[in-house]
Amino acid sequence: MSENLLARSSQLKLKMPKLTVHDAKGKKVGTYTIEPTDLAPRINKQLLHDAVVMYEANRRQGSHQTKNRAAVKGSRKKMYRQKGTGNARAGHRMSGIRRGGGHIHQVKNRDYSYSLPRKALQLATRMAIASKVRDDELTLVDKLEFAEPKTRDMAGILRHLDCTGESLLIATAGNSVNVYKSARNIAGVSVSPAAELNALNVLSARRLLITPEALDQIKAKSTATKSAASNGASS
18-22 vs 28-33, strand pairing mode:
antiparallel
Residues 54-112 pLDDT 10s: 999 999 999 999 999 999 999 999 999 999 999 999 999 999 899 989 999 999 999 99
Q: What is the pLDDT of residue 233?
A: 65
| Least confident segment among 8-12, 155-159, 189-193 | 8-12
Rounded Cα distance between 137 and 187, Å, is: 19
Nearest to 53 by CA among 166, 198, 168, 221: 198
Q: What is the pLDDT of residue 227?
A: 78
Rounded Cα distance between 2 and 52, Å, is: 46
Greater confidence (13 vs 198) lies with 198
Print the domain residue range for 158.
2-61+113-234
Q: Are 56 and 74 found together in one domain?
A: no
Q: Are 18 and 75 found together in one domain?
A: no
- pTM comes to 0.80
Q: What is the pLDDT of residue 223?
A: 87
Please count the CA atoms within 13 angstroms of the CA of 96 that sit on its side-chain side: 10
Q: What is the pLDDT of residue 6?
A: 42
Q: Structurally, how many domains does the chain consist of?
A: 2
Q: What CATH number does the domain containing 26 carry? A: 3.40.1370.10
Q: What pLDDT band is residue 14 in, cutting at 50, 70 and 90?
A: very low
CA 100 to chain CA centroid, nearest Å: 42
For the chain, give the number of residues.
Answer: 235
Q: Are 76 and 55 found together in one domain?
A: no
Q: Residue 106: which H helix or E strand, with range?
A: none
Q: Name every residue whose Cβ is closer than 8 Å to that of residue 21 and which is 6 or more positions away in sequence.
A: 28, 29, 30, 31, 32, 140, 141, 142, 212
In one letter, which amino acid is 233? A
Q: Is the pLDDT of residue 11 over 80?
A: no
Q: What is the pLDDT of residue 13?
A: 43
In whole angstroms, how far apart are CA 61 and each of 105, 106, 112?
20, 17, 8
Q: CB neighbours (10 Å) of residue 192?
A: 18
Greater confidence (233 vs 13) lies with 233
Q: Are 156 and 188 found together in one domain?
A: yes
Nearest to 170 by CA among 130, 204, 208, 206: 208
Q: Is the pLDDT of residue 16 over 70?
A: no
Q: What is the pLDDT of residue 10?
A: 43
Domain final residue pick, 52, 81, 108: 108
Q: Are 91 and 8 found together in one domain?
A: no
| Least confident segment among 13-27, 32-46, 127-141, 215-229 | 13-27
Q: Are 143 and 225 found together in one domain?
A: yes
